[in-house]
Every structure is written in structure tokens, then in C-alpha cells.
Chains A and B, each alone.
Chain A
Amino acid sequence: MSAAHQQVTHDLLRPLFHTTWRFFLLVAVFGTIVVFGLSAWATQAYNGFGVTGITWPVFWGSYVTSFVFWIGISHAGTLISAILRLVDAGWRRPVTRCAEAITAFALMIGAMFPIIHLGRLWLAFWLAPYPNDRFLWPNFRSPLVWDFFAINTYLAGSVLFLFLPMIPDFATVRDRSTGFRRRVYGLLALGWRGSPKQWHRLETAMSIMAVAIIPVAVSVHTIVSFDFSMAPVPMWQSTIFGPYFVAGAIFSGIAGLIIAMEAIRRFLHLQAYLLPIHFDNLGKLLLLMALLWGYFVFNERLVTYYGNQPSEMAVFWRTQRESFAPLYWTMVTGNFVLPLILLGIRRFRTIGGCVIASLGVVMGMWLERFLIIVPSLGHKYLPYSHGSYEPRPIEFVVAGSTFAAMTLLYVIFAKLVPIISIWELKAGASGEAGHS
């Protein structure tokens, strides 16, 4: 084996075999925040939904905002990874696993919000579509039932898409460890040996999964957009919501990926693998998505403006220049102005620039979901359903702790699994050498 390959294996397995104080510190800090969030959720479950600010007429507040936000973040991984795999982009190799892990964890967190949003969470199994004892099924024509199928299909596909290429790396860890660790990784490696037949089957399976997962990913966020656009609420019934939501999801997903990659790069000392070129390429993608996002917002706003329907214009002006204007213009700054400056000007498109732009986008996209939900629900067609909503501290704690949960899951994942695919990296390097 060449020294370069040995170095790759050594560098990428180091976080698994050597535990530093920083790992324990991160687990302690984020674990504490997660426990805090769980106790807030338990308080809500014990005292009832009245402890939140969610009340008539705004029944979808910060929790549904976070649900849509996390489902959007989940589009970072599997979708981007699948597209890059299909077009055989060589630079994808160090990026794909970081991205796919985001998808799996963000989906798990996102899928929890419908349960958090239930007053009586012990009845969460009612979300599953099955008939009652009178053989009455739920309404399969409801977008909420479509969510169940779409999110679970995407979750199953994403977890498998993440797991399959990890098998050869589990075998590598198995062969380099002893005792209990060897037994665990031996089980995860599923008897992987690395015969040509196994490699062919794995690569074919990954190609099929990539082809299947792209339309599923697009469908998931389209269906999440149907939760809104199928309802007779001002500014929700829009045919553009499907692509608008999908573009927004990919947008926030890429931003989440850039932030995660920078954190991994710094904490795991992987500067030799996650290079400025990766951030530059992802930064260009983020810029493209920022422009696309701006295009969709312009379309949505202009058509509403020309429609000039009183109920829609009331919501329109609430966001443009009334009570929600500060949030709206913060969103526009984070999602459009900041990326345009930091990513559009080559001099600023550094790793730091990409991360700052991504932080702006993540914040902006959470606000975007909030601004889609709250102003419209608080100002529906009939005046009797006009009202306001203010999130209570318990909602901030629960929503905020999910960011800690995401980080915690990611930290633990990076401790247990090589965060960059070892075999794909070696195959890429050897492929280039072999072909040259």
C-alpha cells in the first residue's frame, strides 16, 4: 500500500481510535442542552399545550416552522450526494458522507416535530395510517398522510443510502481493532471482504439508490409544501410552492452542509481532505440557489401583488412593511444579500465567507418558514379568524435544543464512523493514478 493510502486510513480512523477531551466536552455541552430541551418538552406534555404561545387562530407556530426547516436541511445530503454520484463529480468524495449524515439526522429531528406538536404525544401512533376497530381508515387525500409516506420513504432511503457505502469502511475498522469494538464493527461490516463481485454490486446498488432517491427527495419537500398550498389560506394557495419549497430546502441544506464541513475540518483536523476547492464549489452552488430563491420570492410576491386580493394583500403588507417587516427584511438579507456579496465576489468566497453566508442562510430559511406560516394563519379570509402569535420561552428551548441534538448526533457519528469515506477517497486517488 502506498504511503499516501496509509496516511488516508490513519487520518480518517484517528477520531475513532483516539478520544480527546474535546469530544467529551462537546458531548457534555450539547447533551446538557438536549436534556434541557427534553425536560421542556416533558413540561409541555405534563402541563398541556397552553404553556406555548400556539393558540387560535395560529395553530401552526414555531414547531411547524422547525418541522419544515429540518426537513429542508435534510435535503443537503442525500440529494446533493446522489446528484454528484450520478454525474461522477470527483470532488464529491470527501463530501458525500458528511452530507448524507446530515440528511439522516435532520430527518429524524424533523420527523419528531409533528409529535412535539401534539398535545397528547402518547397518541402519536395515530399519525400512522391504519384502520380503527370500525375499519375506518384515515383520509388518504390529506397532505398530512402524504407526509407520513413521503418522509418515511425518504428516511428509509436516506439511512440505507448512508449505510451501504459505510460497509467497506466498517470492515476496515473491524480489521484494525480488537475485542468488543472488533465484534461490533464485524457485525456492522456484514462479512465484507472486498471481492470484485461485492464492489460491483455495491456500486450498482448505489447507482440505483441515487436514481431513486433524487425524485423522492424532490417529492418530500413538494409534499411538505402541499401541507400549505392545499389549504384555503391567503398566500398559501400557490402553484409555485412546490418548486419554491424544494429550492429553499436544497438552499438551506447546502448551507447546513458547509457549516458542518467546516466544523468537522477544524475539530477533526481534516484540513488535508476538506479543501478550499470543496467550499468554493459548494459556495458556488449556494450562490446559485440564492439566486433561484430570490427568483421564486420575486415571482410569488409579484403575482400576489398583481392579484391584489384584499386578504392576500393584507398578509403581503404585514410582511413587507408592518409587524413582520423586520423579520422579513432580515430574511432577505440572510438569504439573498449576504450570499450575493460573500459568494458572488470571488475575493470573499473563502472558507470563512462561505460559512458566514451559510449561517445567514440557515437563519434566513428558518425565518422564511416562520413568515410563510404565521402571518397567513393570523390573517385569514374572515375577520373572526384574525389574531396574533408570539412564541413562548418553552418553544424557543425546544426548537433551540434540536440544533444541539443535531450537533450531538453528528459529534457521536463522527466518533463512531469515518466521517469521510475511506474507500471512496482511495478509489478516487487510485483511479486518477490508474487512468493517467
Chain B
Amino acid sequence: MQAAGVAPEDITVLTAYPMEWFAFFRRDAQSRMWWIACLGGLIGLASASALLWVAETSWPMNVGGLPVFAWWPNLIIMFELTMLGAILATVVTLAVTARLGRRTRLYDPAVADGQILVGVEHPSNELLPAVTRALEVPVGADVKRL
């Protein structure tokens, strides 16, 4: 396909399961999800700290002589909300970066049957013959217009 003149980022490849041993699968492997998850965790931590500070100082209660804003018990809620922030940030990042919930573009249900879909969205008229020829090269390939 690339030899036919299609830019790598214009080639759509769809599979029924991850195929890490193919070169095409290594595209788009890099992401900043881990960093975004950490950021989500920090937001969760900050939210928990703010909530605890407001809750405990707005009506100070003396419990067993502990400080009004006591770190030991507060660390528990801080930890939970930190983790919740990281989890939610991860899910939101997945939804956005994997374009979940958007209208499906180039797709063929045969992918679910295990076929590998290799295609180009809206190829120009000049590219079309070359793309078709390139797609017909592998044995057993089924060229479709969707």
C-alpha cells in the first residue's frame, strides 16, 4: 500500500484481536496514558485534601484528642480518591484517544470473524487503481468498496 503511494497514517488496519507480532500493529503504540493517570491521581488527591480540610475545620470536633485535621486517618480517604482519580482519568483518556463512542467510519463486520481489514478512507481517483492492485496482491484477499 505504501509502495502504491498511500501515506502510512492513511492506511486503516482493523483486527479482531491484538496482533503484536505484525509491524503494522506497532503504530500508535506510544501514549501518555500513564502520565494522564498520574495527573488524575493528583487531582483526586487534591480533591480529597480539600474535602477533608473543609469538612474537618468547618465544625471542628475533638475526637480522642486527635488533631482536628489528623493526617493518619485522612490518608485513607486521600488514598482512595487518588486511586479513583487515576482510574477515571484512565477511562476518560481511553474513550477520547481510542475515539470510543464516535460514529464508526470504515468498518466491515467480517473483522469480527477474524478477517484483517486493510483499507484507505476516501482514496483519491488517481490513487484508487494502485490501491486496488496493491490490495489484490495477497492470496485470498477480498477487495471491497464500503
Contacts and interface: CB of A to CB of B under 8 A. Distances in A.
B98 interface: yes
Interface in A14-65: none
B124 interface: no
Interface in B92-118: 93-95, 97-107, 109, 111-115
B55 A131 contact: yes
Contact of B18 (A129, A203, A212): A203
Interface string B64-106: 0010001001101101110110111011011101111111111
Nearest to A226: B76
B59 A209 contact: no
A125 interface: no
Given A160-B91, A191-B99, A212 B17 contact: no
Nearest to B91: A160
Contact of A190 (B76, B100, B106, B111): B100
Q: Please report whether the interface of chain A is mostly helix, strand, loop or mixed according to DSSP.
A: helix
A198 to B, nearest CB: 4
A428 B113 CA distance: 17
A149 B81 CA distance: 8
Given A153-B80, A176-B112, A201 B56 contact: no
A199 interface: yes
A204 B105 CA distance: 23
A266 interface: no
Nearest to B57: A137
A123 to B, nearest CB: 20
A2 B29 CA distance: 27
B110 to A, nearest CB: 8
A204 B111 contact: no
Nearest to B48: A149
B128 interface: no
**What is the size category of the interface that chain B forms with chain A?**
35 or more
A191 B102 contact: yes
Contact of A137 (B55, B74, B112): B55
Contact of A149 (B77, B95, B99): B77
Contacts of B115: 1
A202 B107 CA distance: 19
B113 A6 contact: yes
Given A219-B76, A219-B79, A135 B59 contact: yes
Contacts of B24: 196
B14 A167 contact: no
Interface string A130-152: 01001111111100011001100
Contacts of B112: 9, 171-172, 174-176
A200 B31 contact: yes
Contacts of A9: 112-114
Contacts of A197: 27-28, 97-98
Contact of B86 (A190, A208, A427): A208
Given A175-B109, A205-B90, A208-B33, A434 B21 contact: yes
Given A168-B17, A195-B14, A426-B16, 9 more contacts: A146-B77, A153-B80, A175-B109, A194-B15, A196-B25, A204-B34, A208-B90, A216-B83, A431-B20
A157 interface: yes
Nearest to B74: A140
A322 B64 CA distance: 36
Contacts of B55: 129, 131, 137-138, 140
B43 interface: no
Given A149-B76, A204-B31, A423 B86 contact: no
Contacts of A192: 100
A184 interface: no
Contacts of B21: 431, 434-435
Most buried by B among A138, A153, A213, A223: A153
A121 interface: no
A141 B73 contact: yes
A265 B18 CA distance: 26
A139 B13 CA distance: 55
28 contacts: A9-B112, A9-B113, A137-B56, A140-B56, A146-B73, A146-B76, A149-B76, A153-B83, A156-B88, A164-B94, A167-B100, A193-B104, A193-B106, A195-B12, A196-B18, A196-B24, A196-B25, A196-B29, A201-B33, A203-B18, A205-B33, A205-B93, A208-B37, A209-B90, A212-B86, A216-B80, A426-B17, A430-B19
A170 B146 CA distance: 22
A174 B56 CA distance: 50
Q: Across chains A and B, which 6 residue pairs bring their CB atoms closest together, nearest first?
A: A1-B114, A175-B109, A137-B55, A175-B112, A197-B28, A434-B21
B7 to A, nearest CB: 16
Contacts of B109: 175-176
Contact of B77 (A2, A6, A140, A216): A140
A5 B94 CA distance: 27
B58 interface: yes
Most buried by A among B58, B59, B90: B90
